Amino acid sequence: MKILVTEKIADQGIEVLKKSGMEVDVKLDIERGELLEIIKNYDAIVVRSVTKIDEEFYQHAVNLKVVGRAGNGVDNIEMEGATERGIIVVNTPEANIVSAAEHTIGLLIASCRNIPQANNHIKNRQWDRSGFKGVELQGKTAGIVGLGRIGSLVATRLQGFGMKVIAYDPYITDERFKKFGVEKKENLQDLVKESDFISVHTPKTEETFGMIGDEEFKIAKKGVRVVNCARGGIIDEDALVKAMKENIVASAGIDVLVDEPNTTSPLLDLNNVIITPHLGADTVEAQNNVGVTIAHEVLSALKGEMVPNA
Ligand code: MLT
- The neighbouring-strand residues paired with 91 are 69
Q: What is the DSSP string of 162-183?
A: T-EEEEE-TTS-HHHHHHTT-E
Angle between the N-to-C axes of helices 11-19 and 284-302, in degrees from 0 to 180, rounded to the nearest 10:
20
> Which helix (DSSP H) or strand (DSSP E) does residue 267 occupy?
none
The amino acid occupying position 212 is I
* ipTM entry: 0.94
pLDDT digits (tens, 9 = 90+) for 122-179: 999 999 999 999 999 999 999 999 999 999 999 999 999 999 999 999 999 999 999 9
Cα separation of 86 and 163, whole Å?
47
> Which pTM was predicted?
0.94
Which run of H or E residues covers position 3? strand 2-5
Angle at 277 between CA 58 and CA 199, to 5 degrees: 95
If you compute the radius of gyration of the chain from its CA atoms, what whole number of angstroms results? 21
Q: Provide DSSP, 197-230.
A: EEEE-----TTTTT-BSHHHHHHSPTTEEEEE-S
Distance of alpha carbon 158 from alpha carbon 155, whole angstroms: 5
pLDDT tens over the chain, length 310 residues: 999 999 999 999 999 999 999 999 999 989 999 999 999 999 999 999 999 999 999 999 999 999 999 999 999 999 999 999 999 999 999 999 999 999 999 999 999 999 999 999 999 999 999 999 999 999 999 999 999 999 999 999 999 999 999 999 999 999 999 999 999 999 999 999 999 999 999 999 999 999 999 999 999 999 999 999 999 999 999 999 999 999 999 999 999 999 999 999 999 999 999 999 999 999 999 999 999 999 999 999 999 998 887 8
* DSSP 8-state symbol, 235: B
Burial grade of 21 (CB within 10 A; 0-12, 13-18, 19 or more): exposed
| Closest ligand 1 atom to 92 CA | 3
Cis peptide preceding 170, ω within 30 of 0: no
Q: Is 27 left (phi over 0), alpha (psi -120 to 50) or beta?
A: beta
Q: Is 231 a catalytic residue?
A: yes
Distance 48 CA to ligand 1 centre (A): 7
Phi first, then psi: give them for residue 271, nearest 5 degrees.
Answer: -65, -30
Q: Which of 15, 23, 102, 260 is catalytic?
A: 260
How far lies 143's CA from each of 23, 109, 116, 152, 168, in Å? Answer: 47, 15, 24, 12, 8
Return d(Cα 24, Cα 208) in angstroms, integer: 36
- The reply to whether 278 belongs to the active site is yes
* Best mutation site among 278, 279, 282, 283 for ligand 1 pocket (most ligand atoms within 8 Å of CB): 278
Beta bridge partners of 227: 199, 253
∠ CA 111-116-122, nearest 5°, is: 140
d(Cα 256, Cα 241) in Å, to the nearest integer?
A: 15
- Backbone dihedral angles phi then psi of residue 144, each to the nearest 5 degrees: -105, 125
> For the CA atoms of 118, 140, 234, 268, what is the dihedral angle to 10 degrees?
-10
Q: 231, 237, 296, 297: which one is catalytic?
A: 231
